[in-house]
Amino acid sequence: MFQNRTSGFSKSVDCPSSDRLLAFRQKRLGIFASDIIGRHVASCDFCAAELEFYRHFPTIPDEDVKPDQIPGPLYDLAQAILTNRTSGINALRTIVGKQNDED
């Protein structure tokens, strides 16, 4: 489960799984399941954003979707952007600094 304790923008226990959202996007669900997920997405910003992501970055049908671990500095940067904090600049500098060290 994805949690962002600072901004409240998170996937809750009531949210459909990413696999179900992807199946909804690809129109692979029945009418009843599609209706339930459609109503949920209409009231859930997080799931609506996930569906928007799938619209821009489609996956191969039946591809097994497994979440990866988000690197700490990238997670901090995302939190800072979502909460409009200036500490995101420090997280960005950390990411850029690590890339420069690897060159």
**pLDDT per residue of the chain (103 residues) written in tens, 0 to 9:** 444 344 467 788 889 998 899 899 989 999 999 999 999 999 998 999 999 888 887 666 555 656 667 777 777 777 777 776 555 566 566 666 665 555 5
Which ranges of 1-103 does DSSP label H, i.e. alpha helix? 18-25, 31-43, 45-56, 72-83, 87-102
Burial of 1 (0-12, 13-18, 19+ CB in 10 A): exposed
Total-model pTM? 0.50
Dist CA 42 CA 92 (whole Å): 33
